[in-house]
């Protein structure tokens, strides 16, 4: 579905050096502030009918992201262009490149991902930090490629001159979300490591091999 080779016809994946191979069309290219969301379709010879649907998210995880992506996912699921293999529609791919955003929106977006059974992927050069990683865990299927980076840290309140680390209530919400999305054992491990970092810029960073051995990828 993707390639590092340049192409005169295929768009480059947002935040990555890869381009989409077997590119068919761009359905939507939405820009709201520093957020960009693009819906791309690619040809897939294994489909009985339809195309592979991909949603690319590049920018801040906020209320705009959750609203727009759920609308696109509804359109994909209710439309006639979705790839079907046998009698089974395939999972929509979500590509993520973001420095983060609001925890509550990261959780909301992750729950939308799980509701629609999407595949979350980080491609080469993409970075998914903070609330983006929270959303990433909502994918029913999760993958990372080459030098992609996942980073987690404790939720905090930015007070300008300083930060206030997560309250007990915020911490509990995050822990329960991790366990819901990743299972009890992986969720608790992830939560305990995440909460060791309360910083605007620092966090627990994982590459694809680390994420795989810890049970985050599937």
- SS3 of 141-195: the string is EEEECCCCEEEECCCEEECCCCEEECCHHHHHHHHHHHHHHHCHHHHHHHHHHHC
Neighbours of 31 (CB within 10 A): 11
3 — pLDDT class (breaks 50, 70, 90) = low
Quote the CA–CA distance of 165 and 198 in Å, as a whole number: 6
Q: List, for residues 32-76, the tens digit of each pLDDT value.
A: 999 999 999 999 999 998 899 999 999 999 999 999 999 999 999
What percentage of residues in the chain have a pLDDT greater than 70? Answer: 89
User: Does 30 have pLDDT greater than 90?
Assistant: yes
User: Does 189 have pLDDT greater than 90?
Assistant: yes
Per-residue pLDDT averaged across 74-100, rounded?
91
Among 95, 94, 32, which residue's Cα sits nearest to residue 64?
32
Percent helix, percent strand, percent coil in the chain, to nearest 5: 30, 30, 40
The pLDDT assigned to 206 comes to 97
Q: List, for residues 131-142, the tens digit of each pLDDT value.
A: 999 999 999 999
What domains can you pick out in the chain, each with its CATH number? 2-151 (3.90.226), 154-204 (no CATH)
The pLDDT assigned to 166 comes to 59
Where do we find the tokens 């359905």?
A: 27
Global pTM reads: 0.91
Report the chain's mean pLDDT, rounded to a whole number: 90
Inter-CA distances, 218 with 73, 134, 136, 175, 183, Å: 22, 16, 12, 20, 12
């Amino acid at each position: 579905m993707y390639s590092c080779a340049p192409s005169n016809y295929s768009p480059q994946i947002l935040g990555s050096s890869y381009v989409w191979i077997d590119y068919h069309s761009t359905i939507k290219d939405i820009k709201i502030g520093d957020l960009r969301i693009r819906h791309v379709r690619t040809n897939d010879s294994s489909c009985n009918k339809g195309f592979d649907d991909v949603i690319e998210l590049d920018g801040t995880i906020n209320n705009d992201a959750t609203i727009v992506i759920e609308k696109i996912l509804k359109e994909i699921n209710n439309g006639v262009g979705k790839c079907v293999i046998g009698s089974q529609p395939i999972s929509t791919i979500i590509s993520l490149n973001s420095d983060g955003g609001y925890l509550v929106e990261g959780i909301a977006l992750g729950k939308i991902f799980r509701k629609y059974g999407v595949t979350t992927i980080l491609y080469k050069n993409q970075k998914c930090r903070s609330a983006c990683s929270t959303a990433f865990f909502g994918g029913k299927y999760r993958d990372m490629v080459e030098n992609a980076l996942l980073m987690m840290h404790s939720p905090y309140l930015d007070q300008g001159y300083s930060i206030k680390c997560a309250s007990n209530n915020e911490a509990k919400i995050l822990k329960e979300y991790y366990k819901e999305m990743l299972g009890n054992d992986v969720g608790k491990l992830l939560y305990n490591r995440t909460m060791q970092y309360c910083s605007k810029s620092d966090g627990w960073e994982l590459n694809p091999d680390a994420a795989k051995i810890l049970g985050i990828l599937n």
